[in-house]
Structure 1
Amino acid sequence: MTWKEKLKDFQNYLKFEKNFEKNTISSYLSDVSKLKSFAETDDQFSPETINYENIQHFLFELSKENLSERTQARCISSLKAFFNYLVEEEIRADNPTALLEGPKLGIYLPDALSLENIEKIIAAVDLSNPLGKRNLCMIEVLYGCGLRVSEMTGLKISNINFKELYLRIEGKGGKTRFVPLAEFTSKIIKNYINNERAEGKINEKFSDILFLNRRGNAITRNMVFIIIKDLTEKAGIKKNISPHTFRHSFATHLMQNGADLRYIQEMLGHSSITTTEIYTHLDTEELRDVILNCHPRNKNK
């Protein structure tokens, strides 16, 4: 049994049995492939024979690369998943990663933009050309609907209900959810479909995809990242902004304005309320700042 064979089997397991997204599968395989490279050059350990001490040695060498704690934690999660799979398949009787512990991570508070900064980014869009108007529409959909970037780039026109005002989103793990569509965002999407999109090139293969590039193909995730990075710089915002930042802002602003956490969970497509609860921590951080800045006991006399 070789690493190559087991990595291929693990890939199929993640794809077809666990229904993981392509990007998640890629990350898991990348992490396990690093262990494969280590094992093949260090006494030729196979997936069946590698042990806890060998994996500890691998992680020690990996730590020298100055990886972030979050990346190290993800790598350990990937290795645990791989060896859990081998145990499930009865390829191994034991899991050599069972005792591994990842670095202690603090609560990860996702960065969110203020409404003022979102307006600045929108103001930086060049509306004198069709691609600029498409970019405006993409940002309004990211922020107005809280979509993941992969959900936005794969959004189909046939999944937009303009009459009832909702989007049918095919999310992680093949799960489908329905996201309310604000009248404001609906008008922007309609305008883009009827004008800039209709007048541009449309590859027949992508005729039902909402957002297209200049060649008429579905716009890629990487291009969306580049567009947002460029607009952020033009807007003069000194933050590391990604498409996901608009999703965080969507949830944060809903939370700050009194939306029920369960509704936010449903709109974001989180399988667990625990994931959504991160936004309660954001709210707590804001409350802490208010107390520190406004309470009489904390003011300088």
Structure 2
Amino acid sequence: MKKQTPNFQRLTRLQLSKLFILFVVLRGKMFYLCFTRCLCFIKIYTIMRTAIILRQDKTNQKGVLPVCMRITHERRSMYVTLIRVKPENWDASRGIVKKSDLQHERLNNELRRRIAEVNKVVVLCEAMEPERGIDAVRDRLHKRTTADMFDYAQNYLSRKENTSVRTYNKCHSHITKFKKFIGKDQFSVSHLTYELLLRYENYLREDLGNSINTVTTNMKTLKELTAEMYEEFRLDTRNNPFRKYKMKSTPTERPCLSEREYFRVRNLKLIMQGKLYDARQLFVFESETGIRISDILKLRWQNYDGHYIQIIMDKTDRQLKIPASDLVKEICAMRERRYRTAGVPVTPDGFIFRGILPYEYDSMSRAEKVCAENCAVARINLALKRVAVLARVKKNLSTHIGRHTFASRLVRSGQNMVVIRDLLGHASIRTTEIYAKIMQSQMNDAIDVLNKLNNHGYKRAE
């Protein structure tokens, strides 16, 4: 009968220790040296190896690829998604995001954090469950997320906070609502079903009184969170209830000024350098550029070269470059003369609309900056209410109406929708087409009025 040799690769650490003692006692120093070398070989062979790679085979519709940590052990591998980047912005030799990516600092920080997080799990599995290898790592990563959905949401929210405080606040509110609906601090993603989503939708509409669009916004956050968990940790996407759930929405009203109302506001005589004057000037600037008020308040002289305005939009984090109209150039020149007359230096990093935001704005935290911007917008909107009364405009004038007025004026002039979309910085042309639908409705109403006038007017001459 052939003698079976022991498989050292399958021995546990306890068995290896016992074998070590046995060899030392029975065979002496020579076997001690041989066994030590054998133990080193086994340790090197069974250790988990990791590598950071860009998955070229996992391109999504936006052309973005996942940067993954590949964990290999005994000829078995698994991948853990760390971040997502465009292939041209990834430095494979250094394993970092290139500076050509506008978000390279945030992405590299996130990459380092995720690498440390996964490495911690790998080391723990090597120490506690060495015989299970890849299975132990996969189980621990999955258990960390699937066992507690709200625990994973903390990491999800921290990433949102790094990108935008406003987005963080919105998503935090949505997750808080869902947590209140569930009624407990722990919730497994495997318990998230289609029927539960329908009950949650009804809770938002009936109990909280949310509109259809608000319900959809809440559901989008929950859908993104769920999809991220399923994709990152390779759960079976067939069990994702959002594959069956359909989002609902209703067209929203986009209030804007007519040409007559706009010129009433624009030509209103006001005291120079007063609160009403500055508020009206900001409104006109927004009506001529379509830039959101949050971006206008942070507009600096380095963003304006005399012909074009170039910014990174705060809401979407996308770059926007638009030509400045004659009126915009006039407003910028007026602001510059005003500062120089007052002895205020005009520097590239100085605000074009100086004095609206606090002077210590640049040294504030992200949350403090958002609070300062919200307070400034509230003061401007309050002043615009007074401007509307003086200009005999019966609409509820606010800063965002300026952006809608910009879009509606371009639609009325017959401009191409793609051009209007690019000027507004919309990601989808569907958002821009809402203005066209509103204009069409107004045109239909105008024709109806014309028909009534014709019916009650003079009879057509025979």
Q: What range is the shorter-chain TM-score in? A: 0.7 to 0.9
- What percentage of aligned pairs have identical amino acids? 22
Letter in 2 for 1:7: A
Query: Of residues 178, 200, 206 in structure 2, which corresponds to 1:58?
Result: 200
1:108–1:276 distance in 2 versus 1, CA, 3 Å: same
Match of 1:101 in 2: 246
Using the TM superposition, name which of 222-231 and 186-195 deviates more.
222-231
Tell me which residue corresponds to 1:273.
Answer: 429
**1:242: Cα distance to partner?**
3.0
Relative to 1, partners in 2 of residues 1:112 and 1:212: Cα closer, same or farther, differing over 3 Å?
same
Tell me the matched-pair count. Answer: 292
After superposing on structure 2, the runs of 4+ consecutive aligned residues of structure 1 that deviate more than 4 Å are 12-16, 122-126, 130-133
- Preserved CA contact (<8 Å) 1:125 1:135: no
Instruction: Measure, in 2, the Cα distance between the counterparts of 1:224 and 1:197.
Output: 26
- Match in the other structure for 1:112: 256
Match of 2:283 in 1: 139
Decide whether the 8 Å contact of 1:137 with 1:192 is kept in 2: no
Secondary structure of the corresponding residue to residue 226 of structure 1: helix
Other structure's SS at 1:169 match: strand
C-alpha distance in 1 between matches for 2:279 and 2:181: 44
**CA offsets per residue over residues 184-212 of structure 1, 9 Å max, x none?**
2212222113315874989x9x9522223
Match of 1:71 in 2: 214
Cα distance between partner residues in 1 of 2:340 and 2:187: 55
Which residue is equivalent to 1:240? 396
1:227 pairs with 2:380? yes
Q: How far is 1:259 from its partner?
A: 1.9
Which residue in 1 is equivalent to 2:152? Answer: 6
SS of corresponding position for 2:309:
strand
Is 1:31 aligned to residue 174 of structure 2?
yes
Structure 2: 5+ residue stretches without partners: 1-143, 362-371, 458-462
Show the counterpart of 1:210. 352
Matching residue of 1:261:
417
2:340 & 2:177 partners in 1: Cα distance? Answer: 43
Structure 1 residue matching 2:355: 3-state secondary structure: coil
C-alpha distance in structure 2 between counterparts of 1:150 and 1:183, whole Å:
22
Instruction: Compute the RMSD of aligned alpha carbons.
Output: 3.2
The residue type equivalent to 1:185 in the other structure is V
- Could you state the TM-score of these two structures normalised by the residue count of structure 1? 0.82
Do the aligned residues in 2 keep the contact of 1:146 with 1:268 (CA within 8 Å)? yes
**Which residue identity does 1:97 align to in structure 2?**
F
Indicate if the aligned counterparts of 2:280 and 2:387 stay in contact, CA closer than 8 A: no
CA distance in 2 between partners of 1:79 and 1:86 (Å):
11
Inter-CA distance 183–3: structure 2 relative to 1 (3 Å threshold): same
Aligned to 2:317: 174
Q: CA deviation at 1:246?
A: 0.7
Task: Assess if the C-alpha contact under 8 Å between 2:385 and 2:398 holds in 1.
Answer: no
**Residue 159 of structure 1 contacts residue 168 of structure 1 at CA under 8 Å; is this kept in 2?**
yes
Q: Partner of 2:83 in structure 1?
A: none
Deviation at 1:129, TM superposition (A): 3.5
Match for 2:404: what amino acid?
H
CA distance in 2, matches of 1:92, 1:32: 21
Q: Report the CA distance between 1:160 and its aligned residue.
A: 0.5
More strand per residue: 1 or 2? 2
Alignment CA distance shift 1:280-1:129 (3 Å): closer
Deviation at 1:3, TM superposition (A): 4.4
1:122-178 C-alpha deviation (Å, 9 max, x unpaired): 46685244544433331222111110122212212111011xx11012125432221
Q: Tell me which moved more, 224-233 or 63-72.
A: 224-233
Unaligned runs of 5+ in 1: none
Q: Distance in 1 between matches of 2:343 and 2:442?
A: 44
AA partner of residue 145 (structure 1): T
